[in-house]
């Protein structure tokens, strides 16, 4: 499956401040890391509806950075895979958390990728639009209570570095102790992703207006 990142824009500097992995001589470990990403993470990305590579097959987004520094890239991907396998949170709630982090940090590729994932797992367009705008006050009638609890917990922690008693209590009621722990781990995971994307000014393809 090939997803076009942007018709006619194959010459875009998808690496941002980083060199593109296909444009430099990789050592054996870097080549192995690239092959691992193509074989697993990139396939998951395509199944989820977003492009892990440009139209010529060169890795983009965080996948380029993971190729350049294989050891932390592998460790990060193991963290992600462990969370995906064992989280007590539903797939839709996970995407509420991830998009809340990405929007707070204005991490373009994270938002691009996880709008696609959110659509794939069935999060409503109303909730996605609210998360993308960051304007949820007074416009949450169509949100499920657990979606709102996850968003408010994540947004408060990311933006203020603290969570009020009321916000914590709502999250605890919605997800239980293990769910709140899983939510904090997920927040940390995508804060790290946002930092990587923003530090190196990694660009993103445009977000489609609707589900494919």
**Is residue 146 helix, strand or coil?**
helix
- Which carries the bigger pLDDT value, residue 134 or residue 201? 201
Structure tokens at 177: 């102790």
Distances, alpha carbon 68 to alpha carbons 11, 60, 92, 155, 200, in Å: 20, 12, 31, 31, 13
**Domain coordinates in residue numbering, the chain:** 25-84, 90-199
23 touches 90 (CB < 8 A): no
pTM: 0.93
Cα–Cα distance for residue pair 205/186, rounded to 1 Å: 24
Give residue-wise pLDDT tens across range 34-52: 999 999 999 999 999 999 9
The percent of residues in the chain predicted with pLDDT above 90, rounded, is 83
Q: Annotate 153-193 with three-state secondary structure.
A: HHHHHHHHCCCCHHHHHHHHHHHHHHHHHHHHHHHHHHHHH
Structure tokens at 208: 């489609």
Give the CATH number of domain 90-199; options: 1.20.1290.10, 3.30.360.10, 3.40.50.10150, 2.60.40.2550: 1.20.1290.10
């Amino acid at each position: 499956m090939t997803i076009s990142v942007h018709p006619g824009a194959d010459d875009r500097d998808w690496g941002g401040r980083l060199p593109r992995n296909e444009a430099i001589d990789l050592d054996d470990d870097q080549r192995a890391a690239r092959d691992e990403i193509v074989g697993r993470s990139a396939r998951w990305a395509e199944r989820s509806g977003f492009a892990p590579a440009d139209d010529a097959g060169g890795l983009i987004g965080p996948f380029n950075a993971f190729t350049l520094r294989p050891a932390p890239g592998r460790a990060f991907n193991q963290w992600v895979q462990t969370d995906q396998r064992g989280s007590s949170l539903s797939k839709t709630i996970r995407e509420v958390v991830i998009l809340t982090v990405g929007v707070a940090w204005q991490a373009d590729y994270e938002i691009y990728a996880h709008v696609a994932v959110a659509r794939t797992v069935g999060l409503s367009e109303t909730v996605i639009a609210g998360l993308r705008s960051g304007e949820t006050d007074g416009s949450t009638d169509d949100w499920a209570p657990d979606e709102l609890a996850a968003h408010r917990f994540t947004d408060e922690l990311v933006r203020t570095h603290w969570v009020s008693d009321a916000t914590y209590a709502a999250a605890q009621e919605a997800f239980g102790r293990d769910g709140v722990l899983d939510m904090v781990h997920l927040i940390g995971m995508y804060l790290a992703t946002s930092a990587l994307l923003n530090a190196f000014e990694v660009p993103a393809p445009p977000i489609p207006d609707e589900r494919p």
